[in-house]
Structure 1
Amino acid sequence: MAVALITGSAGLIGSEAVDSLVARGFDVVGIDNDMRRRFFGDDASTSWQKSELERRHGRRYVHEAIDIRDADALMTLFDRYGDSIRVIIHTAAQPSHDWAAREPFTDFSVNATGTLNMLEACRTHCPDAVFVFTSTNKVYGDTPNRLPLIEQDTRWEIDPGHPFAEGIDESMSIDQSTHSLFGASKVAADVLVQEYGRYFGMRTGVFRGGCLTGPHHSGTMLHGFLAYLMKCTVTGTPYRVFGYKGKQVRDNIHSADLVSAFHAFIDAPHAGEVYNMGGSRFSHCSMLEAIALCQEIAGRPLSWSYEEQNRVGDHIWYVSDIGKFRRHYPAWVQQYDLTALLRDIHDQNVERWHAGATR
């Protein structure tokens, strides 16, 4: 029996990974205690996705409502499955700048200590498993804001002559910048995962995501901006834009494209490697451009307002250079550009949103 263990299994990336790994013949153990509900309220709860996973996969999916901060509970679970665990995908996290500032101890214990607990459980019980970690571009702090940026009508854009013109690669420093407390806790986790690969020789991989999104996203005002933006457009819910004149730029990757990248790594892991992974120039937009496209797809206007103060550590322009991953895994193909991504979010959720569902 080949087992895959996924934390945050009812979340956006976790649930996509469950479906994909079951299809590849794995039995999947999911760890998710729905802390997203505590972080962001009932509308952000992933309990609906847990029920869907159990319905779709039956006995091929076992759900464990374990808190990753509970090292003893994790050790007990890992001991139960032992070296039958071949793959670990660690997506569970506290993902919000604002929330981290309110509860720094909780943020750090989930993001950093929880990751350490997972690594030690893996090293103890299944050291040959491939360990995939979803990090974040926020490990670079606000260093991207020092790039030479040019204001255009609907976006900020980088000087086309700059070495990062096609996107930011892994050579950017993560040091001496303002990260937000969330970014700092993810830096700790990111470096731990690298170190377990380099020091212990474990098959770990770090994926520093841009904006990860897709139709499974339980988006809220504080996290999951594209899914939440589309939901607000469809339902008539007011939306707020924070800072940078609404011209801040993000690259956006569909959860299915990210999980297919995980599979490429799982099949041929590079121990301790780090990859920037996002939509790249293939799928990116400013806030103003995202609003316009959501309105076009939904066929209705969005009610939105602007607050001049940006969030601490927020990026003005961030596009991932995914060239290193493409060099290591040339067969991997990105399927969803921005329009296809937003249409998928809309088409898979519009009826549910109109019916008043809380996701």
Structure 2
Amino acid sequence: MVSEIELRDIHPKGNINVPSSLHVQTGLSIPKTVRVKSFSPDEWEEFTEEWASHLKNKYVTVRRFSGSGDLGIDIAGFCSDKGFEAVWDNYQCKRYGHPLRPSDIWGEIGKIIYYSHLGKYLPPRKHYFVCSQGIGTSLEQLLNKPSELKEKSIENWDNYCLNSITSTAETPLIGTLRAYLDAFDFTIFSSKSIVELIEIHAETGFHSVRFGGGLPYRPNPSSPPTIPTANESRYIRQLLDAYGDHLGSNLPDADSLASHNLYRGDYLRQRERFYHAESLKNFARDTVPSGTFDDLQNEIYHGVIDVCEDYHLNGLARMKETMKHATTIAATSNPLVTSIKTQDRQGICHQLANDDRLFWVPDNES
């Protein structure tokens, strides 16, 4: 007898939220964890290098080891200039088609035991296992039971370590090596989840390019200090020369503007614009790949240089026309475009003047 079949209308749920125009153009976004799991070998290597670059903020030195003679080390973070002779951490990164299993790590643990026993390096303070598919439940549970992890390492030594740690000789777990393993601190072994890797990666300048989603919120720029810093000396000198060229007098310093209220106000605005551009430069350093801000500066430069080199009545007119034109440059190809303000474009002109790439009074030799 055929069982009863329930027939119902088709009602796709779709997206829970109201879709935006971006969803219509590109479809629903793929979760970052899913994207990491689908990385090709080359993409995984690039991603690993990218998040590992942030470790430089945590360690004195970070090095990547590769090849058959890596001694069980992948990414080493050194806490001092003594390298392997002092405190260091190891990040062992794997790309498999499955979440990391206990059978995937016995050989790696064996290498750490063997080579630290030989004195090739001090045991790492922490040894993190990292995998493109994440850490399997059974391994995660085992890593949280150091005594059991030690027992299992001993049980699996012959199958995974005896003939694989070196290609020239067997490494039986006997004598001083066995005694060394028995005394070894297995609490050093732990893991980093894909979510943790993404969180680390989010602190680098590669994140927005790798995963999209736009740039983070840009903080407001700091106000210029009352006394200019040494970093401002060149563009301020050019600025004062531009005022002096217009007034027909020499202005040795900013105090000379005290009797010129109109230019005193302009001077303060120009410094604010410079600090806007400096804040964008710092923002770019933390959110986009190296060189992105330099590319923006070059685009502004090529957009204004012809205007700057045209005939102008005086240096102040040249500066004003150049900066006015800078505000019209779209820079839509630059990843920073969504974070750029008018003051940034103007401030970049002062950065270029600071580097002697733009001159308001070309014949001035001061």
Fold agreement, TM-score > 0.5: no
Q: Which is strand-richer, 1 or 2?
A: 1
Q: Which has the higher contact order (CA 8 A, sep 6+)?
A: 1
TM-score range, shorter chain: under 0.3
- Higher helix residue share: 2
What's the TM-score once normalised by structure 2's chain length?
A: 0.27
Larger radius of gyration: 2
- Length-normalised TM-score, structure 1: 0.27
